Structure 1
Amino acid sequence: MKKIIPLILIVWLLPAMLVAQNTGQQQQSREELERRKKELQKEIEEANEQLKDTKKSTKESLGQLRALRDKITLRSRLINNINEEINFINGDINTAYRDVKTLQKDLDTLKAQYAQLVIYAYKNRSSYDMMNFVFSSQSFNDAVKRFQYLKQYRDYRRRQAENIVSTQDQLNQKIQNLETQRVKRSVALKTEQEQRSTLEVDKKEKDQVLNKLKGREKELVADINQRNKDAQKVQAAIRAVIRREIEEARRKAIAEETARRKAAEEKRRREDEARKAAIAAAAERAKAAAAANGNAANVPAPEKPAPVPEPPKPAPEPEPEKTTARSENVLEATPEALALSESFEANRGKLPWPVDAGNIIEHFGIHQHAVMEHIQVPSDGIVIATNKGGAVKSIFEGEVKSVVVMPGSGYVIIIRHGQYFTTYVRLQTTRVKKGDNVKTGQVIGTASVNDIENTGEVELQIWKGISKQNPEQWIRRR
Structure 2
Amino acid sequence: MPLKKLTYLLLTCLFASLLTGAPAYGQRTKKTRAQLENEKKRNLEKIAETKKALENAQAQKEVTVGNIKAIKEQISSQEEQINLMEQDIDLIDMEMQDIVSAKEGLETKLQQLQKEYAAMLYSASKNSGKLNKLSFLFSASSFNELFMRYKYLQQYTENRKAQVIQMNKVAALLRERQSNLEGKRSDKKRILSAKVVETKNLEDLKTRQTAMVGELSKKETDLRTEIEASKRSVTRLDNLIANIVAREISRKNKERERLQDQEAKIAKNRPTKQPAKKSENLDGAETALGRSFGASRARLPWPVQRGFISDRFGVKEHPVLHGVLINNNGIDIQTPSNATVRAVYDGTVKDISEIPGLGKVVTIQHGEYFTVYANINQVFASVGQKIAAKETIGTAGVSSGATEINFQIWHNTERLNPESWLVPR
TM over 0.5: yes
Answer yes or no: is the 8 Å Cα contact 2:29–2:95 preserved in 1: no
Task: Report the Cα distance in structure 2 between the residues aligned to 1:172 and 1:157, rounded to whole angstroms.
Answer: 23
Task: Report the Cα distance in structure 2 between the residues aligned to 1:156 and 1:397, rounded to whole angstroms.
Answer: 70
Residue 406 (structure 2) aligned to one of 431, 453, 459:
459
The residue type equivalent to 2:362 in the other structure is I
Task: Report the Cα distance in structure 1 between the residues aligned to 2:300 and 2:78, rounded to whole angstroms.
Answer: 28
1:369 partnered with 2:318: yes
Distance 1:36 1:124, change over 3 A: same
Q: Following TM superposition, by how much is the alpha carbon of 1:117 offset from its aligned partner in structure 2, in angstroms? A: 5.3
Task: Report the Cα distance in structure 2 between the residues aligned to 1:239 and 1:187, rounded to whole angstroms.
Answer: 54
Task: Report the Cα distance in structure 2 between the residues aligned to 1:45 and 1:157, rounded to whole angstroms.
Answer: 61
Answer yes or no: is the 8 Å Cα contact 2:100–2:181 preserved in 1: yes
* TM-score between the two structures when normalised by the length of structure 1: 0.71
Q: Following TM superposition, by how much is the alpha carbon of 1:448 offset from its aligned partner in structure 2, in angstroms? A: 0.9
The residue type equivalent to 2:74 in the other structure is K
Classify the secondary structure of the residue corresponding to 1:232. helix
Answer yes or no: is the 8 Å Cα contact 1:389–1:449 preserved in 2: no
For structure 1, which segment, 42-51 or 127-136, has the greater mean C-alpha deviation from structure 2 after superposition? Answer: 127-136
Distance 1:340 1:187, change over 3 A: closer
The equivalent residue for 2:415 is: 468
Q: Following TM superposition, by how much is the alpha carbon of 1:376 offset from its aligned partner in structure 2, in angstroms? A: 0.9
1:426 partnered with 2:381: no
Runs of 5+ unmatched residues, structure 2: 1-15
Task: Report the Cα distance in structure 2 between the residues aligned to 1:232 and 1:372, rounded to whole angstroms.
Answer: 21
Q: Following TM superposition, by how much is the alpha carbon of 1:446 offset from its aligned partner in structure 2, in angstroms? A: 1.5
Q: Following TM superposition, by how much is the alpha carbon of 1:439 offset from its aligned partner in structure 2, in angstroms? A: 3.1
Classify the secondary structure of the residue corresponding to 1:427. strand
The residue type equivalent to 1:396 in the other structure is Y
The equivalent residue for 2:328 is: 379
Task: Report the Cα distance in structure 1 between the residues aligned to 2:51 and 2:73, rounded to whole angstroms.
Answer: 10
Identity %: 26
Residue 352 (structure 2) aligned to one of 403, 410, 414:
403
Task: Report the Cα distance in structure 2 between the residues aligned to 1:149 and 1:176, rounded to whole angstroms.
Answer: 41
1:82 partnered with 2:119: no
Distance 1:57 1:116, change over 3 A: same
Q: Supply the RMSD in Å over aligned alpha carbons.
A: 4.0
Answer yes or no: is the 8 Å Cα contact 2:314–2:328 preserved in 1: yes
The residue type equivalent to 1:406 in the other structure is I
The equivalent residue for 2:389 is: 440
Distance 1:242 1:64, change over 3 A: same
Q: Following TM superposition, by how much is the alpha carbon of 1:180 offset from its aligned partner in structure 2, in angstroms? A: 2.2
Classify the secondary structure of the residue corresponding to 1:366. strand
Classify the secondary structure of the residue corresponding to 1:56. helix
Q: Following TM superposition, by how much is the alpha carbon of 1:466 offset from its aligned partner in structure 2, in angstroms? A: 4.0
* TM-score between the two structures when normalised by the length of structure 2: 0.79
- 1:165-184 superposed Cα distances (whole Å, 9 cap, x missing partner): 44433333332332222222
Distance 1:133 1:405, change over 3 A: closer
Task: Report the Cα distance in structure 2 between the residues aligned to 1:193 and 1:77, rounded to whole angstroms.
Answer: 14
Task: Report the Cα distance in structure 2 between the residues aligned to 1:145 and 1:258, rounded to whole angstroms.
Answer: 99
Answer yes or no: is the 8 Å Cα contact 1:422–1:462 preserved in 2: yes
The equivalent residue for 2:49 is: 46
Q: Following TM superposition, by how much is the alpha carbon of 1:164 offset from its aligned partner in structure 2, in angstroms? A: 4.2
Distance 1:391 1:110, change over 3 A: closer
Highest CA radius of gyration, 1 or 2?
1
Distance 1:17 1:222, change over 3 A: farther
Residue 304 (structure 2) aligned to one of 355, 359, 362:
355
> How many matched pairs?
410
Task: Report the Cα distance in structure 2 between the residues aligned to 1:320 and 1:338, rounded to whole angstroms.
Answer: 18
The equivalent residue for 1:189 is: 192
| Counterparts of residues 2-401 of structure 1 (less than 5 Å) | 24-115=27-118, 118=121, 125-135=128-138, 149-245=152-248, 314=272, 334-401=283-350
Answer yes or no: is the 8 Å Cα contact 2:25–2:95 preserved in 1: no
Task: Report the Cα distance in structure 2 between the residues aligned to 1:64 and 1:407, rounded to whole angstroms.
Answer: 21
Distance 1:200 1:113, change over 3 A: same
Task: Report the Cα distance in structure 2 between the residues aligned to 1:93 and 1:258, rounded to whole angstroms.
Answer: 75
- 1:284-306 superposed Cα distances (whole Å, 9 cap, x missing partner): xxxxxxxxxxxxxxxxxxxxxxx
Distance 1:184 1:128, change over 3 A: farther
Q: Following TM superposition, by how much is the alpha carbon of 1:377 offset from its aligned partner in structure 2, in angstroms? A: 0.6
Task: Report the Cα distance in structure 2 between the residues aligned to 1:471 and 1:258, rounded to whole angstroms.
Answer: 39
Distance 1:27 1:70, change over 3 A: same
Distance 1:126 1:315, change over 3 A: closer
Answer yes or no: is the 8 Å Cα contact 2:137–2:146 preserved in 1: yes
Distance 1:425 1:17, change over 3 A: same
Answer yes or no: is the 8 Å Cα contact 1:127–1:133 preserved in 2: no
Task: Report the Cα distance in structure 2 between the residues aligned to 1:151 and 1:135, rounded to whole angstroms.
Answer: 15
Classify the secondary structure of the residue corresponding to 2:68. helix
Q: Following TM superposition, by how much is the alpha carbon of 1:23 offset from its aligned partner in structure 2, in angstroms? A: 5.3
Runs of 5+ unmatched residues, structure 1: 1-12, 269-312, 322-331
